[in-house]
Chain A
Amino acid sequence: MPDSSLQFSIKQSLEATYRFIFEQALKGLDWPDLAHVIKDRQLRSQKDYSAYSDTLPIWACLATGGEMKQAIPLAAAWVCYNLASDIFDDLQDKDDKQRPWNQWKPGRAMQVGVGLIAVAQTCLAQLNPAAQSDILDILGRTMALAALGQNIATRESLDEYFKHTLAKSGLVFAAVAYAGARSQTDEPSLLQAMYDFGLALGMLIQIRDDCRDLLPEQAASDLARATYTLPVLYGLSQQEHRLRPRLVTLLDTANDDHTLEIGRILTDMGALAYSLAVAKVYEQKALSALSVFPVERTVHLITYVSHFLAFQTVAPGH
């Protein structure tokens, strides 16, 4: 008989996660700013594929035979950690994205970020004690590496690019997927498979975002800070290409007005296709890692992974 928890939709799992945060983790904590940023994220997650990201620990737990309720505290902690990371990233980058904390003075935003980490720990305190130590250990060590990776201001070599991307995204998603599985099982082969899945997923997400950043309507903040993405690194590596001098000139004076031309040049240089091919490898690695789990338990994870590069099947004009 199928586990009834598999019938839960993404929407229901998202609601359960945020309900846990508001009704349990924030209980007795009268902090309107903190509640506001969480509510803001909840509203955004309801509108796009962020809902899959927020609930990733739940689907990892379900894949290994667990039930939704086991991983809800972990998903809640993951939401809080993600929000804290967004706040600290924006503070570091002086980003002006439309987020509540970017309208505040830095000290106010910083306190909310620290508060979110504390709330995340409160959530993790609700985990099964048998798994708690492993989960705290891998999350702690991974987030330390991610914070260290964040200090790399520029990534001008392929080696630095991948090290940074792995630390900031690949390892983080790996640890969160592992933690979701660990909340149900201690079977090493299953934990390794879920870790591998998360690692590939994190790489896929970041590389796909690198490509998306070249869209005209996206902020060109990475380009302006000379934090080069994979397509840009590829373009710069084409030493003999006729468009390289123009690319270098545009990058040296990068601003939002140049994003469209940079995107066109990188398309002409094959940089977008190359970057998406690398992403494709990680998409396939992620799907391969899931093959050890019953397919009916990984439907949401497969959907999540597959949507990132699904544009190839969308005909222009549709």
Chain B
Amino acid sequence: MSNIQPDQTLARATSEAILISRQLGFPISRDDGSALALPEDPVLAEHLKLAMEYLNKPVGVESFHIYNAGVERDA
């Protein structure tokens, strides 16, 4: 048996995903409205910083459409 337990990973990764999501602006529900601290993991904090910069770039369905057409053309 490997040392990695998928079921335990699922619980941990779900919590982390929610933390990432809320740090990036997903509203916190009224039930758990307390402020979330920045992750202590410096690597994750750096990823979030990059993503925040990403948020400031214009992204729309049309630019996504252009990208997909390009991928299909280049393939």
Contacts from A to B (Cβ < 8 Å): 47-49, 133-134, 137-138, 141-142, 145, 158-159, 162-163, 165-167, 170-171, 174-175, 178, 182, 188, 191-192, 195, 199, 203, 211-212, 214-216, 233-234, 237-239, 263-264, 266-267, 270, 272-274, 276-278, 280-281, 284-285, 288, 307, 310-312, 314, 316-318
Contacts and interface: CB of A to CB of B under 8 A. Distances in A.
B26 A237 contact: yes
Contacts of A142: 6
Contacts of B4: 138, 178, 191-192, 195
B38 interface: no
B33 interface: no
B61 interface: yes
A273 to B, nearest CB: 4
Contact of A310 (B1, B61, B67): B67
Contact of A272 (B7, B21, B64): B64
A316 B61 contact: no
Chain B: interface secondary structure? helix
B63 A316 contact: yes
B19 to A, nearest CB: 10
B60 A141 contact: no
B2 A272 contact: no
Chain A: interface secondary structure? helix
Contacts of B21: 158, 162, 278
Contacts of B63: 311, 314, 316
A212 B68 contact: yes
Top 5 A-B pairs, shortest CB-CB distance? A311-B67, A162-B17, A277-B51, A263-B61, A284-B47
A274 B23 CA distance: 11
B26 A274 contact: yes
Interface of B: 1-7, 9-10, 13-14, 17-18, 20-21, 24-27, 43-44, 46-48, 50-52, 54-55, 57-68, 70-72, 75
Contact of B70 (A159, A234, A285, A314): A314
Contacts of A284: 46-47, 50-51
A192 B2 CA distance: 10
B64 A311 contact: yes
B43 A288 contact: yes
A290 to B, nearest CB: 13
B60 A47 contact: no
B59 to A, nearest CB: 4
A191 B9 CA distance: 14
Q: Which of A166, A174, A191 has the most CB of B within 10 A?
A: A166
Given A211-B64, A276-B54, A311-B66, A174 B18 contact: no
A170 B13 contact: yes
A192 B9 CA distance: 12
Contacts of A238: 27
Contacts of A276: 54, 59
B65 A215 contact: yes
Given A48-B75, A264-B61, A311-B64, A166 B10 contact: yes
Contacts of A274: 24-26, 55
Contacts of A203: 17
A16 B10 CA distance: 33
Nearest to A178: B4
A141 B64 contact: no
B66 A267 contact: no
A141 B6 CA distance: 7
Contact of A314 (B5, B44, B57, B66): B66
A174 B9 CA distance: 10
A178 B2 contact: yes
Contacts of B75: 47-49
